[in-house]
Amino acid sequence: MATSTLIQFIDAGESASTSHRSQEETFLAGGAIAAGDWVSLDTTQTGADKALYVIEAAGGAAGSGLPCGVALEAAASGDQVRVCIAGYCASASVLNAVAAAGVPLRISATAGAADAATGGAEAVIGTSLAAAAANVAEVWVYKRF
């Protein structure tokens, strides 16, 4: 179900589950997904289902994949999963090398995680809002879906 970008909750000090200019979408999990994982569209699906299913963003070549946001909850294959596709996300998988706020992020070589963008051809998917600790950080997700 699509979320509205017309009405925003702007009361300071509320929990991260309030809007604060974030946008969520519900997808189906194409595999196991952990809360906080960066996810990508699942291109192994057929036809329009490629935009219905998400999988953990592929590791390997840093910056690869079709990232579309951060999973807000864990999901097993076939489960519905809420994904922050834009705006504030309180807990995203970000490698500890991101040591400050304001670092542009890309999909890392570690599946489901982001790291610092190097300025190459990789897609910038967001910005850190705090230094990563225990491979988790607050982030601002750039809308790509």
84: domain CATH number is 2.40.300
| Helix H or strand E segment including 116 | strand 114-116
Asked, for residue 1, whether it belongs to a domain, the answer is: no
In the predicted structure, residue 15 carries a pLDDT above the cut 60: no
Asked, for residue 12, whether it belongs to a domain, the answer is: no
Cα–Cα distance for residue pair 53/59, rounded to 1 Å: 18
Q: How many CB atoms lie within 10 A of CB 23?
A: 19
Q: For 59-108, what is each residue's pLDDT tens digit? A: 766 555 689 999 999 999 999 999 999 999 999 999 999 999 999 999 99
Among 145, 32, 9, smallest CA distance to 83 is for 145
Asked, for residue 14, whether it belongs to a domain, the answer is: no
Asked, for residue 10, whether it belongs to a domain, the answer is: no
pLDDT at 118: 84
The whole domain housing 103 covers: 23-141
What is the gyration radius of the CA atoms in the chain, in angstroms?
A: 14
Asked, for residue 46, whether it belongs to a domain, the answer is: yes
Instruction: State the pLDDT confidence band at 37, using cuts at 50, 70 and 90.
Output: very high
Q: Exposed, middle or buried, 92 (CB in 10 Å: 0-12/13-18/19+)? A: buried
Among 58, 60, 78, 76, smallest CA distance to 68 is for 58
pLDDT at 6: 54
Instruction: State the pLDDT confidence band at 21, using cuts at 50, 70 and 90.
Output: confident
- N-term to C-term CA, the chain: 13
Q: Which residue has the higher pLDDT, 65 or 56?
A: 56
Q: How many CB atoms lie within 10 A of CB 121?
A: 7
Asked, for residue 121, whether it belongs to a domain, the answer is: yes
State pTM to two decimals: 0.87
Asked, for residue 126, whether it belongs to a domain, the answer is: yes
Number of domains in the chain: 1
Asked, for residue 73, whether it belongs to a domain, the answer is: yes
